Amino acid sequence: EEFFFESNIPLVVDAGPLTRLDAELAYRFSDYSTSGSVDTYKAALSAAFLDERFRLRTGFNRAIRAPNIGELYLDNQIALWAGDDPCAGPTPEYSPAECARTGVPVDRYGTVAANPASQYNQFIGGNPDLEPEEAETWTFGFTASPIDNLDIAVDYYDIKLENAISTIGARTIMDLCATGQDEMCSLIRRNATTLDLFRGSDPSSSGMVINTNGNFGGRRFRGIDLSGAYGFPLGNGRMSLSFSGNYILEKEYSPVPGDDSATYSCEGLINSSCATPKWRHIASARYSFDRYTVGLRWRHIGEMDYEDVD
């Protein structure tokens, strides 16, 4: 059930070079049967100059995303995650004290078997107790049409997402447990006999890391969008050029609330957690004449460095 209103309010009209100044206001109240009630709202300003050839715009939005059916009710089951058990093998990565936190007694240190396939059990699936994600978005930009048939736009955005619906990640859970977060240690359940994390397929007895959906951590995305379009007559037809690009200033993930040690950035990186070029664009040229059109499209994805995320 929802209630909403939207308004566009003209504040100034035809005041010298200022063609118009408009304000936008919006509010929405949503009540979900699965995740309760939540508010969203928007406030924006737009100023047009010189017969709307130039425009400045800025706005603030509070947005939400309610959990979908899969995130709420996906079957809970044992699945595999690729990686290493840092307490397995004759020379574990973790110290005896750190492994003890993950469920390996000191007297069993160095005796836990490692999976030769580097695959371990995790318990995944939906969570009916999920709450909506919440985001705050700031934008600022301008558009310009300095000559006929030429349009340019540049926008800066800053998005901060909290209460994100996601999983923490099996290895991240283990790392956080080893550093002293007791609530993470409760998600690690080793095989009662062998203490490993890969033998068996019974959720009640198998070794595994519980990695179901939850409202974990947040995201921070900042960047710049650029676009342009220009059309002009050429010969017996018309040439149309367009360009759309995005430059990422920041793409940060915080898997666990209040724990900066697990926070990582993805801009310009590719690895098991990231695939984020700092720059990408699409440029196109199209020539139309009579009943025919010839087009050329260039899609560019910038280079990325491989850098593992701890």
Q: What is the mean pLDDT of residues 170-178?
A: 91
Range from 48-52, 215-219, 256-260, 295-299 carrying the lowest mean pLDDT: 256-260
Question: What pLDDT digit, counting tens, does each position of 42-85 carry?
Answer: 999 999 999 889 999 999 999 999 999 999 999 999 999 998 99
CB atoms within 10 A of CB 59: 17
Q: What is the DSSP letter of 248?
A: E
CA gap 249, 32 in Å, rounded: 35
pLDDT bracket for residue 165 (50, 70, 90): very high
**Token output for 158:** 């800053």
Q: What is the DSSP letter of 206?
A: S
pLDDT at 310 over 60: no
**pLDDT at site 154:** 98
Provide φ and ψ at 107, rounded to 5°.
-75, -10
Amino acid at 226: L
Question: What pLDDT digit, counting tens, does each position of 82-116 carry?
Answer: 989 999 999 999 999 999 999 999 999 999 999 99
Question: What pLDDT digit, counting tens, does each position of 288-307 carry?
Answer: 999 999 999 999 999 999 98
Token pair 């996906």: residue: 74
Instruction: Give the percent of the chain with pLDDT over 70.
Output: 99
**pLDDT at site 271:** 87
Specify whether the CB–CB gap between 216 and 270 falls below 8 A: no
Burial of 245 (0-12, 13-18, 19+ CB in 10 A): middle
Q: What is the DSSP letter of 75?
A: P
Q: What would the DSSP string read from start to end of 279-297? A: EEEEEEEEEEETTEEEEEE
H-state helical runs in the chain:
69-73, 96-101, 170-178, 182-185
